[in-house]
Homo-oligomer: A and B are copies of this chain.
Amino acid sequence: MALIVQKFGGSSVADAERVMNVARIVTDTYRDGNDVVVVVSAQGDTTDDLINKAFEINEKPSKRELDMLMTSGEQISISLLAMAIHKLGCPAVSLLGWQAGFNTSSAYGQARIKSIKADRLRSEIDRHNIVIVAGFQGLNKYDDLTTLGRGGSDTSAVAIAAALRADRCQIFTDVEGVFTADPRKVDNAKKLKEITYDEMLELATLGAQVLNNRSVEMAKKYNVEIEVLSSLKRVPGTVVKEVAKMEKMLVRGVTKDTDVARISVTKIPNTPGVAFKMFSVLAKHKINVDIILQSVGRDQTKDITFTVSKGNAEEAVNCVKSSFDIDDGDIICDTNVAKISIVGAGMESHPGTASKMFEALYERDINIEMIATSEIKISVLIDLEAADRAVSAIHKAFFPAE
């Protein structure tokens, strides 16, 4: 007998039929002799519908009232799921975030979980109830409802698993797990049995939208074992844990991120502190810079190239222009680029990994514009048009067809 936390996203409970499907997964787990806590998001488009209702009335709604509005979404889905579980003959009780003891910071719309007072959760489990908790929400010190911001329900589930020292936290999605590349685009993409927290964090950052980063960070901190799996197909998913079996794989996955803009600044005076100044200005404007490349230019000048997300590109260009005396022609912004990365904890001890990646690109005649490396990943910036070909080529090099 184990204590299992299961999380289902909005599309998994979008209508009555899907709610019944989730109820079957939950009751099967319960009937196998486990204690089960379920975390659910709002049904399908509910959140968007509620936001539209708000904006129809006030284009700048108060964040407190927006949270009051939004949290009604999960209230609907938890009660419906409880009714569905009752229908299948198992005991269940639904709890709002505050009833489940979620104390959060005061920041409406992006509150952080401060603590979970798990008494009610524990007493409901002791009564052999399946406990259904509204994800994405909590209560702040003013006794007001808050939402946790993006990916909040994943975080709710991991936080409950940590508070209850659950044996596993299962995150159900519309994919079967974490793959070596996007299975919709790359033939022969393989599902990983296991992956480490750090690898998962790199993959998430790099555009593999399976798990929210905040939830993985929390899982790592409290050593919560996560399983990512499908709510539609009953097969084992991918387990995220501290030490993953290597499965003889050097590389865990190949990812593509197209939300990238490259900004090149040329003819900068070659004096100390210029790079420092430039990036502190960007930091002040809360612009995250990813890859940075500096090279010596001609005539006592240097060039600095860096990448930001597309949404920040224009502001970044303006920042740099207003802080330095730069001609329009000497700053170039290119949004026609993609970042391709390989991730794997094993690669740091295998020196041939980078050259194998570069060789795969060379063979397809794909030019590398920038390179960045960390202990467990290698990223390259290439032409946007070549992105999908590049992922396929690299994936083939590291995961040859059996």
Interface residues of A (CB under 8 A from B): 16, 19-20, 50, 53-54, 56-58, 61-62, 64-66, 68-69, 71-73, 75-76, 78-80, 82-84, 86-87, 93-94, 96, 99, 120, 143-145
B residues less than 8 Å from A83 (CB atoms): 54, 57-58, 61-62, 65-66
What 7 pairs across the A-B complex have the smallest Cβ distances?
Answer: A69-B79, A68-B79, A58-B83, A72-B72, A72-B75, A16-B56, A58-B87
Main secondary structure on A side of the interface with B: helix
Copy count, this protein chain: 2
Nearest CB in chain B to that of A52: its residue: B16
Report Cα–Cα, A65/B65, bound state, in Å. 24
Report the nearest B residue to A84, measured CB to CB.
B57
A58-B84, A69-B79, A71-B75 known; 20 other A-B pairs, CB under 8 Å?
Answer: A19-B57, A20-B57, A53-B76, A53-B80, A54-B80, A57-B84, A58-B83, A58-B87, A62-B83, A64-B93, A65-B79, A65-B82, A65-B86, A65-B94, A68-B79, A68-B82, A68-B96, A69-B80, A99-B143, A120-B143
A58 neighbours in B (Cβ, 8 Å): 83-84, 86-87
Which residues does chain B contribute within 8 Å of A57, judged by CB atoms? 16, 19-20, 80, 83-84, 87
Shortest distance from the beta carbon of A78 to any chain B beta carbon, whole Å? 7
**Across-interface contacts of A120 in B (CB, < 8 A):** 143
- Closest CB in chain B relative to A128 CB, distance in Å: 16
CB distance from A102 to the nearest CB of B (A): 14
Nearest CB on B from A87, distance (A)? 4
Q: Looking at the assembled complex, report how far the CB atom of A69 sits from the nearest CB atom of chain B, in whole angstroms.
A: 4
Q: Which residues does chain B contribute within 8 Å of A68, judged by CB atoms? A: 75, 78-79, 82, 94, 96
Task: Give the CA-CA distance A275 to B12 in the complex, in Å.
Answer: 60
A143 to B139, CA, bound (A): 14
Question: Which chain B residue lies CB-closest to A64?
Answer: B93
Instruction: Report the minimum CB–CB distance from A98 to chain B (whole Å).
Output: 9
Query: For A16, what are the chain B residues with a Cβ–Cβ distance below 8 Å?
Result: 53, 56-57
Return chain B residues, CB-CB under 8 Å to A65. Answer: 79, 82-83, 86, 94
Q: How far is the CA of A50 from the CA of B77 in the complex (A)?
A: 11
Kindly state the separation between the CA atoms of A145 and B84 in the bound complex, as whole angstroms.
19
Q: How far is the CA of A69 from the CA of B71 in the complex (A)?
A: 12
Q: Which residues of B contact A94 (CB under 8 A)?
A: 65, 68
- Complex Cα distance A53/B16, Å? 7
Cβ contacts A to B, 7 pairs, < 8 Å? A20-B57, A58-B84, A58-B86, A61-B83, A65-B82, A66-B79, A68-B75
In chain B, what residue has the closest Cβ to A71? B75
A75-B69 in contact (CB<8A): yes
Which residue of the partner chain B has the closest CB to A62?
Answer: B86
Interfacial chain B residues near A72, Cβ < 8 Å = 72-73, 75-76, 79
